[in-house]
A and B are shown apart, each in its own frame.
Chain A
Amino acid sequence: MTDQPRTHLDPDPRVERTLTDALGTQPMSDESLERLRAVVAREWRDAVAAEQPISSRRSRWIALAAAAALAAVAVALWVTRPSAQTAAIGSMTRLAVDGLEVRFGLFQHRRLKSGDPLRVGDRLTTRGPLLITLARGGTLRVAAGSSLNIPGSAELSLESGRIYLDIPPGSSAVNPLRVATSAGVVEHVGTEFEVMSDDRAVRVRVREGRIRFLGTTDTIVADAGTELLASPGKIISQRSIDTYGGDWLWTAALAPDYEIEGRSLIGFLIWVSRELGRPLDFADAHARQVADRTILHGSVRDQTPLDAMSNVLASTSLTYEIRGDTIWVRSGP
């Protein structure tokens, strides 16, 4: 051993090697992280939702004063309220936070709960994430803290926050749904995509199918696995992205319930595959046959797609693993 004199900040390579070798660990698998994230996210949303109604005494006084003022305004609005209800674009299917205040008309508002319709002219700001089943087919998922207007039956306007649209291929091709943002308009062509927006920039991520982005300077058609970044008046940039993984977990956590009773295993697996953005493949022909022939019974309500798949496959002779981007289903353990 030779001990050379060292400066104060000059690290001893033996020390660095000893520490690096001993302290390095095997990282958690992507699958484990996804599973963990889904569970913790759900707990977090529940905990935050439970905390929200606890308001300070001062807030209660302010709320009382505001309520008194609003009561006076309400009388005036009663006279000016619209005589007919506008068209429903969909219905509330799941709210992480109980009750959602929606504004409409000039100063009117109503409180939405699960099952209530969402109408043209509504303006909402979400406190927790929510899932809306669209009348035209498909779902709209909205992240907490998003502000969204519904100016028409085929148009949404995202002021800020994040939404995810899952429109089944082939639905409403004549009158595509449009999402207006500060930097342009997104038109779907049968697809799953996410839009995140504020007053300075817009990010569009295409997960399946294709979208058309009509920016203020340019129009771009983007396919699955593409991310567009646009700012008002600036050139739109694009890059490739994964259609699976951590960035999409918030959408999986808001996935609609899949009713498995009486439905085929293959149909269920295809649903999981779309929700996770991962291709589905079978390791052997027998596994594929089992998936085609098996009819499911029971329920996977309130389970994330990954948990639902784990539980359903545990009741069959099939198992799965996530290899790279793909869900591999195989016979036996």
Chain B
Amino acid sequence: MYEADRALVTRMRASEQRAFDEFFKASAPRLAAFIARRSALDSATLEDIVQSALIKAVRNLASYRGEAALFTWLTEICRHELADAHRKAGRRPAHLSLDEPGSISHDEEQLRAPPNQEPISQLYAATRRTEVMRVLQSLPAHYALALEAKYGDGMSVEAIARELGLTGIATQSVLARAREAFRRRWQETSADPDYGGSAT
């Protein structure tokens, strides 16, 4: 089903530079966006996680069997890296002494929201993103994947179809059903006045 992805990996394993170029161009910016939607990490930490995930991927190309889309496989690696980053941040003490500035580690500072994300509008946007992501995660996985690919990554229906292993028409239908499912769930759970909810 994912012959093109499998062929790409085979070409990469045969040292074909053009295959690596295709892989990197298609994966790196999209993985960064994938992480950005699921965390409030600053750009340096985010870049570190993308780097770790891609390095693990290129070291383990032989383990990609073509059972899922290559990007889906990458996102699984990425989820582990992201979880590790959060775990490391969680191990640090919740309260840090202001008398010991040295105790605030570099990583801790990096995992905090950067100052330019502190204004209320940024906070509102982040909250809304979290709500949208929560609703997406409550939908069937292929609905969430299709909506994120279309509205987050700006992918064409044809590209999404390749990722879902479907035809273009079937993908359009999935997108339509996914939008409808999202609308219903959003209406139920959010206070969005545009959807008839009450603003708080």
Contacts and interface: CB of A to CB of B under 8 A. Distances in A.
A239 to B, nearest CB: 19
Nearest to A96: B15
Given A23-B152, A37-B28, A40-B24, A97 B15 contact: yes
Contacts of B172: 9
Contacts of A4: none
Given A23-B148, A48-B12, A145-B15, A9 B173 contact: yes
A16 B151 contact: yes
A11 B176 contact: yes
A40 B51 contact: yes
Given A1-B196, A36-B28, A44-B12, A162 B179 contact: no
Given A32-B43, A250-B17, A44 B58 contact: yes
A52 B12 CA distance: 12
Interface residues of B, number: 49
B186 A144 contact: no
Contacts of B131: 22
B195 interface: yes
A47 B64 CA distance: 14
Interface stretch (B29-37, B81-89, B96-104, B158-166): B29-37
B132 A41 contact: no
Interface of A is mostly: helix
Interface string B149-192: 01110000000000000000000110010011011001000001
B141 interface: no
Contacts of B192: 18
B37 A25 contact: yes
Given A15-B179, A27-B29, A129 B59 contact: no
Contact of A44 (B20, B32, B128, B151): B20
A40 B54 CA distance: 7
Interface string A40-53: 11011101110110
B25 interface: yes
A308 B28 CA distance: 23
A162 B50 CA distance: 28
Counting contact residues on chain A (CB < 8 A from B), the size range is 35 or more
A100 to B, nearest CB: 12
B29 A33 contact: yes
Interface string B1-28: 0000000000011111100110011001
B51 A12 contact: no
B40 to A, nearest CB: 12
A29 B32 CA distance: 11
A256 interface: no
A22 B129 CA distance: 5
Contacts of B182: 15, 19
A68 interface: no
Contact of B47 (A1, A19, A32, A51): A32
B82 to A, nearest CB: 14
Contact of B59 (A8, A12, A43, A250): A43
Contacts of A16: 151, 179
A25 B32 contact: yes
Interface of B: 12-17, 20-21, 24-25, 28-29, 32-33, 36-37, 43, 47, 50-51, 54-55, 58-59, 61-62, 125, 128-129, 131-133, 147-148, 150-152, 172-173, 176, 179-180, 182-183, 186, 192, 194-196
14 contacts: A8-B173, A16-B179, A19-B150, A23-B147, A23-B151, A26-B36, A28-B47, A28-B50, A36-B28, A40-B58, A143-B17, A144-B15, A145-B16, A246-B25
Given A27-B32, A51-B13, 6 more contacts: A20-B151, A28-B28, A40-B28, A48-B13, A48-B15, A145-B16
